[in-house]
Amino acid sequence: MTGVAVEAHGLGKTYGRGGGHRALHDCSFRLPAGRVCALVGPNGAGKSTLLNLAAGLDRPSAGSLTVLGSAHPGDVRDRIAFVSQDKPLYPQLTVADTLWAGAQLNPGRWNRATADRIAGALPDKARVRTLSGGQRTRLALALALGKRPELMLHG
């Protein structure tokens, strides 16, 4: 993979009435494709906000953001995997049902062998709500990597 995976220029994000809370201000960077990068900073620095923007889950208030060549990250969401810090899985589903849903939501991209290799130690019939935090992380990673993403974001 060559080129740029994520590029930002003057990126900003504000929340609240009249943009009263500035979560991100004048952020500029370039992340080459094929690289591993860690985003570090103190609590409230905007790390999660930046990941949400890159995943196409939110829109910037200022600046520009290009993800996988698109100025609209939501348009390339099928090529991105995002494991957020709260791992939003459906607690009522079983492990097997969750992996089945991953396959259905990612037709043409899903690699069952990859997902099974990562989630293989998890009991198929266990409900997500009964899994430990580490097991939920394993399941979320199986979903993310099973879709064979071009960009993997983990918050």
- What CATH number has the domain bearing residue 58? 3.40.50.300
Please determine, for residue 1, whether its predicted confidence score (pLDDT) is greater than 60. no
Which tokens sit at 15?
């929340």
Q: Which domain holds residue 130?
A: 95-150
pLDDT at 2: 61
pLDDT at 87: 81
Please determine, for residue 21, whether its predicted confidence score (pLDDT) is greater than 90. no
Kindly state whether residue 42 falls inside one of the protein's structural domains: yes
Q: Do 72 and 101 fall into the same domain? A: no
Residue at a domain's end among 78, 104, 131:
78
Kindly state whether residue 85 falls inside one of the protein's structural domains: no
Kindly state whether residue 108 falls inside one of the protein's structural domains: yes
Kindly state whether residue 155 falls inside one of the protein's structural domains: no
Kindly state whether residue 87 falls inside one of the protein's structural domains: no
Kindly state whether residue 15 falls inside one of the protein's structural domains: yes
Residue the block writes with tokens 């992996």: 99
Kindly state whether residue 133 falls inside one of the protein's structural domains: yes
pLDDT at 53: 96
DSSP H stretches of helix in the chain? 47-54, 95-105, 112-119, 133-146
Q: Do 62 and 102 fall into the same domain? A: no
- How many structural domains are present in the chain? 2
The tens digit of pLDDT for each residue in 57-67 reads 999 999 999 99
Q: Do 114 and 51 fall into the same domain? A: no
